[in-house]
A and B are shown apart, each in its own frame.
Chain A
């Protein structure tokens, strides 16, 4: 028996019902509102990141016309784009947004375990975003040291934002880590402690598994970034020499001595690599559920999927230095990290196989979320396979720091998770808003995004093969780069502008449908997992009305032989199985009920 009796928990929840508009939408402790706040802040920040990317793509594609972008701004835009997308958009959106919305609903809980801390988390996150954005307005502007923030470069005069920008960036990251830790403790404890009656860990939908393991990764990986950030702040503000060796700045020697820039890289990537999976694992989980629901089939190899999530999560902590093959670290590390990196391909490949096998012999409904999910499989296969090039240490020698790297991680960590974000938003939109979105517009949005991004990144790999270095403001005159490389860059920019503009379809769709979409069925896709079986749509504060649900089965009872409908909700008792939908129930036609 656990500590808090169920009845107590119910009454405890009742105390936080808000009564004012501010209490309801601003200082709200309801996980669903917090999720939307988290998501909105993340998406807004992401839009800034998107616009920055379009600006620097203008410089790369049309260097003659884009003369309003100088080298200094180019590097700042590249840096801020990277950090915003990885941390402030994707991490916050998957954990703070989807994690907050789905965990309590999928676990059959009324809310997170600590609703107040949950609310604090989103406000602290907002503070971190404000600090980050403030760096655009300080003298020197935001840091232009690349999103990896490698010292000594980031704190030297030759880098934009070396005075205020980098400090604000590090402080903002520190504040973000505080927010993530507060949120993360909530998610972990909620999954462990607040599952409803009958809901074992292995009955959880993979979304929860993905977010749960990703949260654990976040809790253990972000400290490395925090440590690196603190030590770097000491170097910058107090003049210590953790990462700063004896060096010359603009012709004059600095006071630092003996520090190790490579140490920073180790710390950064000890965070940075798990970070990839902090973004990827929730995406894996969400896409598994979308695929399963719309294929009307259980996710293939559920246990393998859970094990793979755990295995990938564990392995992600021992592969970090594959980002550092050419960093000047001891070259013998290359053997170890190449091996672990390629081992991680095995569980990842199994996940891909199982997604495809979920489609096999399914009854696939090609709804808009399914388009995005299938698109994800394609882009993820592409991005995953190119990872095998970079992970295999010798192939990294010619390819690292070229556009191949940029193309690879955008396929695997940009396009793929973002396709899942769209799949998930379209999939859960009816539950979140109570309205249906415009299907045609959503599919158009899919085609623009899917084909457009492939048009950006497929050719970009070949620029990398050619040897075009990343983070170059201009290609300049280089003998081995033909003029056609610049032409290809121009084509990529056109595709990027197209993709950027087409995201308007998404915003128009979800905002317009909020008021004008047709009223949604409480369970429009016929999904079995708990969140679709709330008494209200959208769910009210407290989620479950009078009493908490009880779970009798796993989340994937689709197309069960003998069952009347092609899905059985998790909270349907065995005895009631055939009466899933009483309106259409006709005992005479159902032979499985002959003996009832």
Chain B
């Protein structure tokens, strides 16, 4: 008896819950931003068919439980089978299945057939970053292979292929698309499986190392949408984020014109930075960071020597643009005017290159902690990006940690944990550390990790 009532209540409750979500509730599909209304339509058909079955079968069952519950003098009816009924139910079910499947297959045919006029762009996944490539003026993406990957050629574009030279490369996880033009995304991975998902576009597809997969859509609503990785890709899976901005053709054209072509990035990489100029510029830095970049805790200047140029360069830009050194970051704020003294990207590059040449003597250990616990945390959570020996690598955008100022490490991790560093919208890599910093529960665990890193020098 109670069971019958509960089943009825669950059916009614589920329907009420569903319609609450359908009409304004917070937990339903995000608004569609691509021309894939057909997918939503198929889903609605499926909802009606399955919803009907859900209601009818469950209510009938509840009624049976109520009506045919044990009563004195009552006996069950003996009926081994009823062919007519079963054939009828089979036909009914088959019709329902066809009603759902037919539109499904029809829409799938649309999905697998990319319109000829679709523009192409490439999505490159690697642990745990998104990067993008546009075909450039010739409308053709240059051939690429994982074997060609170097720090200056992260896409592995074939240098011999002329069509690759004008490719526009976006080495940050934010991409743009013009509204109202069908686009085909070609998906490539350099390490593990990833999945390129934008909830508002409805479609998704895995990135598989060794082959090129694809999906296509036609963005219809302007806005900025999250790109998520939806295929487990290792410990950093949940921090592999990006964004796609859909905007007018004019805005898009302006954006893409501001991005470097592959040839430009190669040309820059080919010219050596002016280390002498960098050395001159470093004179100002030396006041806090020491003449050899060895750091000075009293002046809150962390050790710089031993850090690879790509990281120093990126941080200097962040300080200059106000991405770092914002609210709450007192010491970082002091860096902002310093970074301002570097006139342009070339100056930043020069000084970073000079710092890379400084002799790398391990900084003195100032933090103590439980090394074993620190090792445990580090090896499980940090080593995936910063490597087992704490040397860091450009590939995961992870700076070297071993031999650097441990007190600075503690401050920065605390800042990440507190959201002081990493949450600026233009800090494309810091947000990952905001999430990863939770691997250390409190200040003392951060010190444990710092103490372990001190053993890596």
Whole-angstrom distance between the Cβ of A557 and the nearest chain B Cβ: 9
Cβ-defined contact, A350 with B86, below 8 A: yes
> Are B76 and A303 interface neighbours, CB within 8 A?
no
Question: Contact between B74 and A363 (Cβ–Cβ < 8 Å)?
Answer: yes
Q: From A480, which residue of chain B is reached at the shortest CB distance?
A: B30
Q: Is the CB of A248 within 8 A of B228?
A: no
**Complex contact A364–B69 (CB within 8 A):** yes
Q: How far is the CB of B146 from chain A (nearest CB, A)?
A: 5
Q: Are A338 and B101 interface neighbours, CB within 8 A?
A: yes
A462 to B377 alpha-carbon distance, docked (Å): 34
Known A253-B147, A478-B226; judge A362-B203 contact (CB<8 A): no
Stretch from A38-46, A101-109, A218-226, A339-347 that touches the partner: A339-347
Cβ distance A96 to chain B, nearest Cβ, rounded Å = 30
Q: Is the CB of B76 within 8 A of A363?
A: yes
Count of inter-chain pairs, beta carbons less than 8 A: 374
Given known A-B contacts A73-B380, A474-B238, A480-B225, A253 and B28 have beta carbons under 8 A apart: no
A459-B27, A465-B28, A474-B435 known; A153 vs B234 contact (CB < 8 Å): yes
Interface size range on B against A = 35 or more
Quick one: which of A427-472 are within 8 Å of B by CB? Answer: 451, 454, 458-459, 462-463, 465-467, 469-472
Contact across chains for A371 and B380 when beta carbons are under 8 A apart? no
The interface residues of chain B lying within 8 Å CB-to-CB of A153 are 192-193, 232-234
Q: Residues 485-526 of chain A: 1 if any B CB is under 8 Å from the residue's CB, otherwise 0? A: 100100000000000000000000000000000000000000
Please report which residues of chain B, range 99-156, place their CB below 8 angstroms from some CB of chain A when the two chains form the complex.
100-101, 104-105, 107-109, 111-112, 126-128, 145-147, 149
Say whether B235 contacts A566, CB under 8 Å: no
Q: Which residues of A contact B28 (CB under 8 A)?
A: 462, 465-466
Are the CB atoms of A394 and B76 closer together than 8 Å? no
Least CB distance, A311 to chain B, in whole angstroms: 11
Give residues 166-217 of B contacting A (CB, 8 Å): 187, 190-193, 195, 197, 199-200, 202-211, 213
How far does the Cβ of B123 sit from chain A's closest Cβ, in whole Å? 12
* A398 near B29: Cβ-Cβ < 8 Å: yes
Q: Is B387 an interface residue (CB 8 A)?
A: yes
Q: How far is the CA of A304 from the CA of B224 in the complex (A)?
A: 54
B54 at the interface (CB under 8 A from A): yes
User: Separation in Å of the A265 CB from the closest CB of chain B?
Assistant: 9
Segment among B90-98, B312-320, B404-412 that sits at the interface with chain A: B90-98
Q: Is B24 an interface residue (CB 8 A)?
A: no
Which of A145, A366, A462 is within 8 Å of B70, CB to CB?
A366
Contacts of B27 in A (CB 8 A): 459, 462-463, 465-466, 484-485, 488
A residues lining the B interface (CB < 8 Å): 63, 67-68, 70-73, 75, 140-141, 144-146, 150, 152-153, 156-160, 245-251, 253, 258-262, 295-298, 300-304, 326-328, 331-332, 334-335, 338-339, 342-343, 345-346, 349-350, 352-354, 356-357, 359-366, 371, 374-375, 377-378, 381-382, 385-386, 388-389, 392-395, 397-398, 400-402, 451, 454, 458-459, 462-463, 465-467, 469-480, 482, 484-485, 488, 556, 558-561, 566
B contact set with A: CB distance below 8 Å: 1, 3, 6-7, 10, 14, 17, 21, 25-30, 38-39, 42-43, 46, 49-50, 53-54, 57-58, 60-61, 64-65, 68-71, 74-82, 85-86, 89-90, 93-94, 97, 100-101, 104-105, 107-109, 111-112, 126-128, 145-147, 149, 187, 190-193, 195, 197, 199-200, 202-211, 213, 224-226, 228-239, 241, 377, 379-381, 383-385, 387-388, 393-396, 423, 431, 434-436, 438-439, 441-442
Instruction: Give 10 closest A-B pairs by Cβ, nearest first.
Output: A245-B210, A251-B395, A158-B234, A467-B199, A72-B380, A328-B213, A401-B230, A251-B393, A153-B192, A462-B27
Selected A-B contacts with CB under 8 Å, 30 pairs: A70-B377, A71-B439, A157-B384, A160-B235, A246-B210, A247-B146, A251-B395, A262-B208, A304-B81, A326-B195, A326-B206, A328-B211, A331-B111, A334-B108, A335-B108, A338-B105, A345-B97, A346-B97, A361-B76, A364-B65, A364-B69, A364-B70, A388-B97, A398-B43, A401-B195, A401-B204, A462-B17, A471-B237, A474-B238, A558-B76
